[in-house]
Amino acid sequence: MVVLDRVFGFDSFFIELVRGFEQPSITDIAKGFSYIGSTVPIIVICAAVSVLLYALRLRREIMLFFTVVLGSQILNMVLKMSFRRIRPDINRLVEVTGYSFPSGHSMAAFALYGILTYLLWKNLNTVLRRVFVLILFSVMILGIGLSRIYLGVHYPSDVFGGYLASCSWLMFSIGMYESLRSRN
């Protein structure tokens, strides 16, 4: 749909919807979410999670974690080079470079918070804790994706495509992990 330019109506509708909330306080929140989804915070979070998983002697989970997070980044680079979609150039509130589709921030957020949700879900023993993690990480994923649209650096289809690609990679990785784990 992106290649055939059949997402104009979808993109236009959601750009107007998201950008309709524009005001200084919302812009600050969007910049905050966008920062949390950028390289340095993602690396810091990954390092902290790695140390924790290592301390808990969860070696297989460390491999799964890095497979999901790094695999998503590699997939993002391959897709960006394949599609070479130019970023939107109207109403940008921040300046960025590179190709637009799929959104790297959205892919990184979905991979990171998706795998954290999976790992915590398996190890939390109450429904309340599981629901809290699910809601918290869903807000992070949605907030980071919406911030990219709000700031004018991605089309909604970039964000949706990023979520879809990262979700597919996450599900594939978890499926392989569970399959290998059940054999041992």
Q: What is the pLDDT of residues 70-100, one digit of tens each?
A: 999 999 999 999 988 888 887 777 888 888 8
Helices (runs of H) and strands (runs of E) counted in the chain: 7, 0
| pLDDT per residue as tens digits for the range 126-165 | 999 999 999 999 999 999 999 999 998 998 999 999 999 9
Q: Which domain holds residue 47?
A: 8-183
Are the C-beta atoms of 98 and 81 separated by less than 8 Å?
A: no
Q: Please count the structural domains in the chain.
A: 1
Tell me which amino acid residue 125 is.
Answer: N
The verdict on whether omega for the bond into residue 102 sits within 30 degrees of 0, i.e. cis, is yes
* Cβ-proximal residues to 180 (8 Å cutoff; 6+ apart), any chain: none
| Pairwise CA distance, residues 20 & 67, whole Å | 38
Residue 166 is assigned to a structural domain of this protein: yes
Residue 32 is assigned to a structural domain of this protein: yes
**Whole-prediction pTM value?**
0.89
Residue 178 is assigned to a structural domain of this protein: yes
* Cβ-proximal residues to 92 (8 Å cutoff; 6+ apart), any chain: 151, 152, 153
